[in-house]
């Protein structure tokens, strides 16, 4: 059996060798980048040998900004080698300016003033409708204050929310989140922080809470209204969602007041459910991207199972109301899906599809979602109570559920591409 040859060892860039930054700006047009690198590659007497160390390019509304870090190869006195490199790159710059009508600036990138990066990189996503300038300014100041450097900024979306992604290096995650949390509070923008890495785009399963997350309102409150006990149940629900009451205990108390309601009331409530704006877009997009999608609810299977079927979801878990003789008894059947039960459901579904927990996403709004949010690889508090926002990995306070896609790093163009030609009304 033939052996694979051992590759020749590669030489790392010489950190002491001279290097320079070329910055190209101007109206974007085909061929600018090609002209620049062709000029760098052309042979000529006395031209120093160079290598490309870094490249960044962005086009904003037809205006090009291209940065290239070029290092010198070969030997020689450092001062002389740097002078030769800079002279060479300035000649290249003039050639490119004459050929394609852009501006080329050349400066040294060597020595003690050269940028130094360290620590794990993070994505900082700023979302809002609109995004006020003070949110961007505050985020930038907070990043600097936490010892971070903004390496890149790109727009992720303009619909349904405007969102920008900062790539940040050099800052520690906890300090970054703490600094940015105060900016989000003071400006009204949502600011999420995620570690850069393959794990961000490797998410493959999402679980959504139902009441006040996937759908507007609380089903139990709607049922209680039909029993004439709306105010009483609403108070218990609010206390449970704020973490002031044990969820299982509060659930039994709320269900008890439903005793005697005809089973047909469940159909009435289900027919009047209103999806949160962007819910269908989120689910359809993630399904086309290969996600397993499902719901885990402290509500009731008589509501959630038909909902899951209508949305084409892969799984659903919820409580089951006891029914006898066509009427609700005020009791429950089977295991209660409470705060720890939601986390167990997430684990069960992930195991069912062979997906590691760090590749899962959970979205919810109440205290009973906290275990599920912390168990998932990414837990997102959606229009949540303050108690929940403080403990989740990140929080969204926008009214659109598909803003979750931007937290996951998907751009608006990628969302439209995943949807293909299905450009119906957002819902």
Q: What is the 3-state secondary structure (H, E, C) of 225-272?
A: HHCCCHHHHHHHHHHHHCCCCCHHHHHHHHHHCCCCCECHHHHHHHHC
Kindly name the residue from 43, 151, 190, 211 that is annotated as catalytic: 211
d(CA 133, CA 214): 31
Would the CA dihedral through 10, 14, 19, 21 be positive or negative? positive
Q: What is the 3-state secondary structure (H, E, C) of 292-312?
A: EEEEEEEEEHHHHHHHHHHHC
Phi, psi of 385, rounded to the nearest 5 degrees: -70, 150
Q: In 62-164, where does DSSP find H-type helix?
A: 78-100, 133-145
d(CA 255, CA 221): 10
Q: Give the DSSP letter of residue 197.
A: S
Cis status of the peptide bond prior to 160, with omega within 30 of 0? yes
Written as six digits, the tokens of 158 are 């303009």
Decide if 209 is catalytic. yes
Kindly name the residue from 28, 209, 365, 369 that is annotated as catalytic: 209
Q: Which residues are catalytic?
A: 209, 211
């Amino acid at each position: 059996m033939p052996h694979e040859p051992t590759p020749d060892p590669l030489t790392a860039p010489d950190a002491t060798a001279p290097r320079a930054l070329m910055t190209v700006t101007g109206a974007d047009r085909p061929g600018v980048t090609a002209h620049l690198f062709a000029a760098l590659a052309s042979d000529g007497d006395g031209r120093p040998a160079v290598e490309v160390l870094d490249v960044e390019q962005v086009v904003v509304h037809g205006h090009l900004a291209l940065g290239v870090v070029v290092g010198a190869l070969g030997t020689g006195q450092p001062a002389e080698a740097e002078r030769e490199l800079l002279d060479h790159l300035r000649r290249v710059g003039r050639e490119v300016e004459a050929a394609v009508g852009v501006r080329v600036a050349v400066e040294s990138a060597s020595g003690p003033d050269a940028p130094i990066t360290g620590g794990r990189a993070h994505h900082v996503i700023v979302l809002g409708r609109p995004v006020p300038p003070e949110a961007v300014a505050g985020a930038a100041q907070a990043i600097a204050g936490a010892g971070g450097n903004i390496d890149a900024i790109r727009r992720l979306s303009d619909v349904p929310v405007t969102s920008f992604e900062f790539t940040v290096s050099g800052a520690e995650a906890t300090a970054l989140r703490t600094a940015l949390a105060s900016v989000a509070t003071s400006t009204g923008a949502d600011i999420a922080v995620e570690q850069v890495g393959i794990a961000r785009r490797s998410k493959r399963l999402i679980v959504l809470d139902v009441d006040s997350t996937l759908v507007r309102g609380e089903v139990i409150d709607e049922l209680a209204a039909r029993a004439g006990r709306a105010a009483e149940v609403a108070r218990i629900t609010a206390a449970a969602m704020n973490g002031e009451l044990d969820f299982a205990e509060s659930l039994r108390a709320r269900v008890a007041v439903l005793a005697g309601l005809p089973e047909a009331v469940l159909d009435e409530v289900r027919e009047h459910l209103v999806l949160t704006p962007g819910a269908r877009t989120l689910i359809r997009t993630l399904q086309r991207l290969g996600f397993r999608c499902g719901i885990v609810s402290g509500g009731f299977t008589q509501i959630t199972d038909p909902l899951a079927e209508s949305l084409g979801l892969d799984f659903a878990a919820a409580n089951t109301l006891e029914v006898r003789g066509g009427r609700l008894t005020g009791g429950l059947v089977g295991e209660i899906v409470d705060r720890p039960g939601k986390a167990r459901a997430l684990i069960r579904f992930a195991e069912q599809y062979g997906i590691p927990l760090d590749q899962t996403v959970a979205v919810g709004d109440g205290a009973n979602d906290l275990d599920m949010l912390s168990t998932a690889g990414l837990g997102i508090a959606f229009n949540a109570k303050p108690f929940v926002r403080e403990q989740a990995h990140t929080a969204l306070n926008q009214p659109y559920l598909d803003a979750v896609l931007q937290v996951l790093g998907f751009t608006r163009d990628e969302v439209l591409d995943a949807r293909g030609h299905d450009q119906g009304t957002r819902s």
